[in-house]
Amino acid sequence: MMHYYGRRSKKAATITLALSLIFLTTISGILPVLPGLVNSFFPSSLGNSSSIGGPSRGSSILSPSGPGVSLPPGTIGYGSEAGPSYSQFINGAISPELVATPDAFVYQTSYGTYSFNRSSPFIFSLRSQTGGLLARKSFFFVAASGSLLTPGVSSITGSTDNMFATRYEALSNGVVAGYLQLQVNFYASSRPKMTISFSKTPAWAFGDFNIVWATFTVAQWAKLTGQTASDISTMQTAQQISNTFRVDVGPSGDPATWTEWLTTDWSDSPGGTLNKGAISLAGLTGSGVGVVFGTNQASIDPTQVTTSTVNSATAYSTQRKMVYYAGKYCMFFYSGNNIVWKSSIDQVAWSTTFVAGGGTGYGGTIGYSFHVYQ
């Protein structure tokens, strides 16, 4: 009897289904509802079939009231937006970025972080990309007739992401004897170019002059090309060395173990004399390096950078530091102080820099060895 009853029920259901199909064809011809309707009558015959893309649960695909309108022939498409894709940097070159603070103009570059003091903009400090201080103070001044002319009033004549410029007085007994103009141009893939120029005023009465560059360093081991490193902290007076155009200052007597160091290079201005050891001038004392440039050489183009065996801005290149999502590229890198990011549509023009933060991640404190998953 149970078997007979099941056949009758199935026959009744089949008749009902046929009537329903005729009704739906007459009023609208909306075929996409057919799979769901069949499934409601014969759930066991379809099993766990995959769902069809459409409205979310609880919504209606039919108008709640009013006559139905047949849709024109066409196709129904569906899909979803792909998740973010990740990639690594090809190299660690980053565009220079100016961050103005109440105390300084700070330039974050591929070759270190340069900070120009607001009150004395001709004095700058230099940090590595990991944030380590390498040059406490670095500045140019003028020597004439065996004495130093002191810096006077200064002004900032330009400050953009790619350039910083300042002009300051050279004083002798309170009289303006000349002017020094310092301009630093910053680049993404090449060393910054420093140009220091000196011009006399009608009050000049000293004969010959020399531009002098002094840097008070944090590390105390100076190395010349082809020579071993020497401890400048033990030198009571500055040692003068001619016929050289570069000096590296690092943390120990074994340069093979250095991971980052300060490089001062004046190869574009030959004839300078290096001084290393104790320095005392303009009220500042300490150990460091200085360069006395050629007599009456009024324009110099040296450079000073941090050199490193690691590319800390994008270090650990196997980790993901580039994200592409919703038509935009987002580039993350370490500035020396924070993890920052920029966005671009074409990877040519980039937005300004935004601070992404720091904090902690799976590997501990997040610094230059970060991963976007952190």
pLDDT, tens digit (0-9, with 9 covering 90-100), for 142-191: 999 878 899 999 999 999 999 999 999 999 999 999 999 999 999 988 89
77-96 confidence digits (pLDDT tens): 544 444 555 444 444 567 89
Q: Are 209 and 293 in contact (CB under 8 A)?
A: no
User: Mean pLDDT score of the chain, rounded to an integer?
Assistant: 76
Domains of the chain, by residue range, sit at 2-42, 85-91+312-365, 97-308
Q: Where are the alpha helices (DSSP H) in the chain?
A: 2-27, 34-41, 43-46
Any idea which of 12-21, 95-104, 242-251, 296-305 has the lowest mean pLDDT?
12-21
For 60, phi and psi rounded to 5 degrees?
-110, 140
64-79 confidence digits (pLDDT tens): 455 666 666 765 554 4
Overall CATH class of domain 97-308:
mainly beta
Distance CA 194, CA 302 (A): 6
Q: Are 213 and 122 in contact (CB under 8 A)?
A: no
Distance CA 196, CA 96 (A): 20
Specify the 3-state DSSP secondary structure of 159. strand
Per cent of the chain over pLDDT 90 is: 42
Q: How confident is the model at residue 360 (pLDDT cuts 50, 70, 90)?
A: very low
pLDDT recorded at residue 119: 94
Average pLDDT over residues 109-131: 91
- On the question of pLDDT at 45 being above 50, the answer is no
Which residues, including other chains, have CB under 8 Å from residue 294's CB and lie 6 or more apart?
210, 269, 270, 271, 272
Is pLDDT larger for residue 124 or for residue 17?
A: 124
What is the value of pTM for the model shown? 0.63
- On the question of pLDDT at 240 being above 80, the answer is yes
Distance CA 81, CA 8 (A): 48
First to last CA, the chain: 67
Distance CA 367, CA 357 (A): 10
Average pLDDT over residues 121-127: 95
pLDDT recorded at residue 168: 97
Strands 246-250 and 284-292: unpaired
282-317 confidence digits (pLDDT tens): 677 888 999 999 999 999 999 999 987 755 555 544
Distance CA 273, CA 290 (A): 8
pLDDT recorded at residue 83: 53
Distance CA 158, CA 206 (A): 30
Average pLDDT over residues 32-47: 44
Distances (CA, A) of 240 to 40, 196, 269, 284, 356: 96, 22, 17, 19, 46
DSSP string covering 275-339:
EEEEEEETTEEEEEEEEEPPTT--EE--EEEEEESS-GGG-STTS--EEEETTEEEEEEE-SSSE
Per cent of the chain over pLDDT 70 is: 63
